[in-house]
């Protein structure tokens, strides 16, 4: 005979779980057969047969079955277990696919430092809006391959500063068809960061000067040419996109802040705002705060 402590130690089943199993009809014992001490479950003793049933219930739960699904299986001796497990595999594969997509979306949010949000509440539910935003973001293409596929491999590049080591990791762990796109992402990130460092030297002196604005124009042209942003994107949209990336608090934003410091970083933001058609940073902020649909910083 076994007691609750034995079940917890050997099977990982708590007193609370036993109560749920009994309440849902998975584990049945006539109340008249229990002593007063056993009725509070603390002193309840379980037979080998009951322990076997509890083990089976717990195992099905580990496979992702609900209490009601387990009851249906155990109550029906004619259950086709092969079909049941096959159906459960199909369900889990769908859940896994959704989890992978949400993971890729979350990695993009961390990279850019913003997540989509809307002020209006009459268009979509939160779930609908989140699904739309995720699908739109993950459709962005690099080398004609959706960015979603690249997100799976960013884990290999985290916290690796040595360029040779990074290239080795790309060569050994990332599928060949994705390697050019990953290298492009790396190159674009490195080039953009170097460009912003150079831009900060000019913008700190005068963010409206011809020299400063010509340099911003070069960055704009480079990003359009190398698919860092859509080739048809306007100057205002480019400025908005880059400003939010810089000040958002994501991975890229942290790199810029660490390399340049707050003053230089904000001088870059001012030069970008002016390039986008805003008189100054305050003008951009008013525009940003007035948008009905916008991104919220981390």
Extents of the domains making up the chain: 2-76, 96-297
User: How many whole angstroms from its chain centre is CA 176?
Assistant: 24
- Concatenate the DSSP letters of all residues of 120-160 into one string: --SS--HHHHHHHHHHHHHT-EETTEEHHHHHTTGGGGTT-
105 in the Ramachandran plot: left (φ > 0), alpha (ψ -120 to 50) or beta? Answer: alpha
Tell me the β-bridge partners of 46.
Answer: 2
Domain 2-76 CATH class label: mainly alpha
pLDDT confidence band for 292 (50 / 70 / 90): very low
With residue 45 as reference, give the H or E element that holds it.
strand 45-46
Question: Highest mean pLDDT range out of 116-125, 144-153, 267-276?
Answer: 267-276
Integer Cα distance of 163 and 271 in angstroms: 30
Contact call for residues 58 and 51 (beta carbons, < 8 A)? no
Residue pLDDT, tens place only, 65-106: 999 999 999 999 899 999 999 999 999 999 998 888 888 888
pLDDT at position 116, please? 64
For 206-240, b/e burial (b = at least 16 CB within 10 A) is ebeeeebbebbeebbeebeebbbeeeebeeeebbb
Q: Mean pLDDT in the chain?
A: 80
Integer Cα distance of 143 and 166 in angstroms: 20
Tell me the β-bridge partners of 116.
Answer: 295
Largest Cα–Cα separation, the chain: 92
Within 13 Å of residue 98, how many CA atoms lie on the same side as its CB?
8
Segment 155-159 mean pLDDT: 67
Name the phi and psi angles at 162, rounded to 5: -75, 120
Segment 175-196 mean pLDDT: 76
Integer Cα distance of 24 and 229 in angstroms: 55
Lowest mean pLDDT among 9-23, 52-66, 119-133, 266-280: 119-133
With residue 142 as reference, give the H or E element that holds it.
strand 141-142
Is 186 a residue whose pLDDT tops 80?
A: no
Residue pLDDT, tens place only, 193-237: 888 999 999 988 899 999 999 999 998 888 777 655 555 778 888
Nearest CA to 142 out of 108, 172, 92, 99 is that of: 108
């Amino acid at each position: 005979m076994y007691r609750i402590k034995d079940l917890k130690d050997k099977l990982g089943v708590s007193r609370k779980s036993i109560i749920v199993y009994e309440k849902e009809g998975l584990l049945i014992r006539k109340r008249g057969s229990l002593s007063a001490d056993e009725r509070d479950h603390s002193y309840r003793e379980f037979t080998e047969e009951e322990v076997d049933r509890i083990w089976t219930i717990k195992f099905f739960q580990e496979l992702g079955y609900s209490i009601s699904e387990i009851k249906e299986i155990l109550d029906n001796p004619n259950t086709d277990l092969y079909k049941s497990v096959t159906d459960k595999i199909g369900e889990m594969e769908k859940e896994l696919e959704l989890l992978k997509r949400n993971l890729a979306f979350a990695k993009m949010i961390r990279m850019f430092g913003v997540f989509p949000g809307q002020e209006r509440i009459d268009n979509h539910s939160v779930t609908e809006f989140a699904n739309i935003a995720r699908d739109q973001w993950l459709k962005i293409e690099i080398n004609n391959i959706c960015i979603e596929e690249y997100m799976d491999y960013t884990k290999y590049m985290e916290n690796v500063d040595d360029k040779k080591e990074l290239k080795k990791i790309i060569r050994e762990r990332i599928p060949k068809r994705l390697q050019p796109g990953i290298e492009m992402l790396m190159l674009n990130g490195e080039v953009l960061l170097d460009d912003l460092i150079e831009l900060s030297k000019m913008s700190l002196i005068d963010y409206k000067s011809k020299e400063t604005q010509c340099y911003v124009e070069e960055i704009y042209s480079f990003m359009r040419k190398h698919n860092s942003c859509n080739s048809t994107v306007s100057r205002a949209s480019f400025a908005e996109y880059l400003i939010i990336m810089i000040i958002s608090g994501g991975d890229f934003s942290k790199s810029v802040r660490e390399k340049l410091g707050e003053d230089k970083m904000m001088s870059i933001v001012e030069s970008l705002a002016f390039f986008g058609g805003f008189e100054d940073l305050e003008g951009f902020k008013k525009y940003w705060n007035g948008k009905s649909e916008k991104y919220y910083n981390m």
